Structure 1
Amino acid sequence: MAMTKRPARTQDVPIPIDVRARTITDIARLAGVSAGTVSRALSGSSLVKPRTSEKIRMLATAHGFSPNIAARNLRTRRTGAVGVIIPLGHEAGQHISDPFFMALLGHLADALTDRGYDLLLSRVLPSNKDWLAQFVDSGRVDGVIIIGQSDQSAVLDEVASRYLPIVVWGGHIEGQVYCSVGSDNKLGGRLATEHLINKGCRRIAFFGDAAAPEIAQRLDGCREALAEAGIDATIDYLPVHLTAENAHPAILARLSENRIVPDGIVAASDVVGMSALRALSEFGLSVPSDVRVVGYDDLSIAAQTTPPLSSIKQDLATGAAHLVDILFRRMAGEATESVVMAPSLICRSST
């Protein structure tokens, strides 16, 4: 009895080379392997033989194929994104374009991209205490980096007590629940003040709003240095905001109303330091002959002012690397300790 030849099953029919493969199944048919093998090969799995992986990657490249990231994330329960939030509870006028934010964000973006992750950026003006809980519960990201505590430390503690993959750039506070990365702000304030004292300054002012923990720590460091030097610790404190449009007129007004002008200024940021340089010039005072000024952060703009601004350096590149490394460890379920980095004085012509 003659045997009838069955038609080939659809899944066994190879795709013509001139037809573009659009799915993992298409690539699998061309490679003669299972769809699972293709998926593992394209994700870099060591379970697939090198020769097979190379064949699959070459086919994928030839057909301009890339895996469906959304489908992969659905299978792995990962979003492939990290949320980076800038809460501005006490500095509502500050913008993402602030030089400090831009510098740190650049380092974070590079570090996250190197790990194959996207950055979801959000600037938040907290109107209620649930803003962070709503964000982490939305399922939009795999972890969160907060830039600055602002006046939201209690909110950060509440969320961190139940949500592990969160890390904060900011000053370390004794007893905090959340994990943080930042420099030793009190030491930074001391370094700036001791430098001014060594330069002969005795009437030292601090410009910056201590509502934020980082700024408060820098102010504490200034006061400690003055006290240890035997100088009246009643520092001329001006709680200016960190934006130039607010800091400059506030500093100019303080210079106009004070009978005694400070001979040394510790600025809470380089932006405030630059605003002080401008205000002093407009007031007819010379830097450093009449007044010496130290900024904070040592951003690239600090070296471009007239005169170039002395500053307390925070190593933002290293800080960003710590933030990302710690976040990924916490995303993997590891509890991590906070990191406090040592700042350093960068001396330029303003002092």
Structure 2
Amino acid sequence: MLPRPTNVAMGREPKSKRGGASRLTMQDIARLANVSTPTVSRVLNGSPLVTEETRERVLEVARAHGYAVNRNAQKLRHARTNTVAVVLDFGSHRHGAIGDPFIFELLAGVSEALSIRNQDLLLSPPGLDDARAFRDFFQARGADGFIVLGQGTRDAMLRSLARENLPLVVWGAVASDAGYCAVGSDNLAGGKLAAQHFLAQGRKRWLFLGDTRHEELRLRYEGLKLGAAGHSDVSIELLSIPSMAFTATGDAVTSYLAQGGGPDAVFAFSDTAAMAAIGSFRARGLTAPKDFSLVGYNNIPPTAHFSPAITTIDQKTDVAGALLVEKLMQRIDGGRPQSVTLPTRMVVRET
């Protein structure tokens, strides 16, 4: 049973109960629960140095009076913010609008893994456009570290941040000399798988869709060329598309076809790009797989239900989010986590 505090017995309830003049403080809780203020602090911070009886008494008083822990103030009293900034590659998409479901699958995995660790997620803080902005944000204790979803064309900047010892982990291409920890699929192998598919279909005129300034896409292109090695009758053309947006991809393919392009095989940098390409070919009366073979990348759920169902390269996104968070936590704790290359596999469908 709760002891009756003196100030309540004398009719002096905490200010928060007298017309809301001010919010209930830890000192109020301490008086009401007949404990010291440090004891209240220990209870609210989950310290094991408090008996279960005292913990329950303090929490019952706090609940009865609607006391809520100010998490921001609590974070400032600790060495860490318990916040991770997740940075998306808005620059690779027209008008900064990301419409690729694959990114959101990754984001969902990261969010779930952070939630399990009781970490807050801060999504793409504004202004993180260069290395200085990342440094300033970290030094201002905006977050304990960064998870970057997509290298885009920022590899040089990320290498610079790694040299300055900023805690970050990147979803993207894995390179032994990058200096930062990356988690990503085997893009080179993915390109080789696409080549094997085209060769099995007897295709000779191949088109790669994608901006090879992105390391992931460059490796896929290189894998495609390696897969064609030894087949002198195969030609490979590159159609570089600076924006990853669906409409931009469709417009680029439409323009390419209008200028006389006539591939019989297309390897697209993503499944959404593959869908855009199919629309552009269809507008000219060309359909897959009759007129051309097509391979996408990522194996997002709509590919199985699209018409025609899209052959694609599958990445292990089911484990990617957990790996990214695990690697970042190791980095924040002072470790040197190793990069991880996830396996890829071909999912053959109608195209």
User: Where on the TM-score scale, by shorter chain, does this alignment land: which range?
Assistant: 0.7 to 0.9
- Kindly state the Cα deviation for residue 48 of structure 1 after the two structures are TM-superposed: 2.2
- Kindly state the Cα deviation for residue 171 of structure 1 after the two structures are TM-superposed: 0.3
| 2:166 pairs with 1:167 | no
Aligned pair partner of 1:84 in 83, 86, 94? 86
Q: Taking structure 2 as the reference length, what is the TM-score of the superposition?
A: 0.87
- Higher deviation after alignment, 211-220 or 40-49: 40-49
Structure 2 counterpart of 1:297, one-letter code: N
Change in 2 beyond 3 A, CA 1:210/1:203:
same
Structure 1 unmatched runs, 5+ = 1-7
Conserved 8 A contact 1:170-1:214: yes
- Any idea what the Cα deviations from partners look like across 1:40-90, whole Å, max 9, x if unmatched? 223333222233323333333333222121221111033332112224556
Query: Aligned to 1:61, what secondary structure does the other structure show?
Result: helix
Conserved 8 A contact 2:264-2:291: yes
Conserved 8 A contact 1:87-1:125: no
Conserved 8 A contact 1:273-1:294: yes
Conserved 8 A contact 1:83-1:143: yes
Name the structure 1 match of 2:68: 66
Query: Aligned to 1:284, what secondary structure does the other structure show?
Result: coil
Query: Aligned to 1:130, what secondary structure does the other structure show?
Result: helix
Name the structure 2 match of 1:136: 138
d(CA) in 2 for partners of 1:114 and 1:49?
A: 26
Structure 2 counterpart of 1:141, one-letter code: A
- Any idea what the Cα deviations from partners look like across 1:118-151, whole Å, max 9, x if unmatched? 2222277887653433333332111111122222
Aligned pair partner of 2:250 in 248, 252, 255? 248
Query: Aligned to 1:214, what secondary structure does the other structure show?
Result: helix
- Kindly state the Cα deviation for residue 312 of structure 1 after the two structures are TM-superposed: 1.0
d(CA) in 2 for partners of 1:33 and 1:187?
A: 64
Structure 2 unmatched runs, 5+ = 18-22
Change in 2 beyond 3 A, CA 1:57/1:303:
farther
Name the structure 2 match of 1:314: 315
- Kindly state the Cα deviation for residue 190 of structure 1 after the two structures are TM-superposed: 1.2
Structure 1 counterpart of 2:348, one-letter code: C
Name the structure 1 match of 2:276: 275
Query: Aligned to 1:235, what secondary structure does the other structure show?
Result: strand
Aligned pair partner of 1:219 in 211, 214, 221? 221
Alignment of 1:282-301 (within 5 A): 282-301=283-302
Conserved 8 A contact 2:14-2:24: no
d(CA) in 2 for partners of 1:201 and 1:37?
A: 74
RMSD: 2.9
Structure 2 counterpart of 1:176, one-letter code: A
- Higher deviation after alignment, 321-330 or 31-40: 31-40
- Kindly state the Cα deviation for residue 338 of structure 1 after the two structures are TM-superposed: 0.9
Query: Aligned to 1:289, what secondary structure does the other structure show?
Result: coil
- Any idea what the Cα deviations from partners look like across 1:304-338, whole Å, max 9, x if unmatched? 32112121112223111111111112112112111
Change in 2 beyond 3 A, CA 1:36/1:127:
closer
Name the structure 2 match of 1:257: 259
Report the number of matched residues. Answer: 341
Name the structure 2 match of 1:339: 340
- Kindly state the Cα deviation for residue 11 of structure 1 after the two structures are TM-superposed: 11
Alignment of 1:23-34 (within 5 A): 23-34=25-36
Query: Aligned to 2:124, what secondary structure does the other structure show?
Result: strand
Q: Taking structure 1 as the reference length, what is the TM-score of the superposition?
A: 0.87
d(CA) in 2 for partners of 1:92 and 1:163?
A: 32
- Kindly state the Cα deviation for residue 158 of structure 1 after the two structures are TM-superposed: 1.3
Conserved 8 A contact 1:14-1:30: no
- Any idea what the Cα deviations from partners look like across 1:246-276, whole Å, max 9, x if unmatched? 11121122223236x2222111111110111
- Higher deviation after alignment, 301-310 or 170-179: 301-310
- Kindly state the Cα deviation for residue 202 of structure 1 after the two structures are TM-superposed: 2.6
Query: Aligned to 1:340, what secondary structure does the other structure show?
Result: strand
Conserved 8 A contact 1:82-1:120: yes
- Kindly state the Cα deviation for residue 343 of structure 1 after the two structures are TM-superposed: 1.5
| 2:303 pairs with 1:302 | yes
d(CA) in 2 for partners of 1:151 and 1:31?
A: 57
Structure 1 counterpart of 2:132, one-letter code: D
- Any idea what the Cα deviations from partners look like across 1:150-203, whole Å, max 9, x if unmatched? 222121111111234211111012311111111111111111221222233232
Query: Aligned to 2:303, what secondary structure does the other structure show?
Result: helix
- Kindly state the Cα deviation for residue 18 of structure 1 after the two structures are TM-superposed: 11
Alignment of 1:6-45 (within 5 A): 22-45=24-47
State the identity %. Answer: 34
